[in-house]
């Protein structure tokens, strides 16, 4: 089973969550994503209005390299055989990849 995990290599909660919210906007309008998030235990109020902190913390791994690696390990512990990461660039444009994060997580 392959899992995708969006990651933001940023320890500042405000910066990380703001970057995540910008990135998530595209997906929030798509019913297949919304339905999946609802099945995960989130509710409409978590998703609407830019996404609650609970929404962001559930759908994005953010923080230090170690914290992100812990989140990726949780997917493997739950049965994933592959975790594809999408590195969101802090304060970057929507869809802009954070190549620095990829390098740090690959070390």
Model confidence at 27: pLDDT above 90: yes
Model confidence at 75: pLDDT above 90: yes
Mean pLDDT of the chain: 95
Model confidence at 84: pLDDT above 90: yes
Q: Where are the domains of the chain?
A: 2-106
pTM of the entire predicted model: 0.92
Across 24-33, average pLDDT = 93
Sign of CA dihedral 97, 101, 103, 105: negative
Q: How confident is the model at residue 93 (pLDDT cuts 50, 70, 90)?
A: confident
Across 62-84, average pLDDT = 97
CA–CA distance, 93 with 103 (Å, rounded to integer): 19
């Amino acid at each position: 089973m392959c899992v995708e995990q969006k990651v933001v290599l940023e320890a500042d909660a405000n910066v990380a969550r703001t970057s995540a919210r910008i990135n998530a906007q595209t997906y929030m309008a798509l019913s297949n994503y919304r339905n999946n998030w609802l099945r995960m235990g989130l509710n409409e109020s978590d998703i609407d209005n830019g996404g609650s902190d609970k929404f962001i913390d559930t759908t994005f791994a953010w923080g230090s390299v170690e914290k992100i690696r812990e989140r990726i390990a949780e997917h493997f512990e739950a049965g994933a055989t592959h975790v594809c990461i999408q590195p969101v660039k802090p304060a970057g444009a929507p869809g802009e990849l954070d190549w620095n994060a990829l390098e740090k997580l690959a070390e």
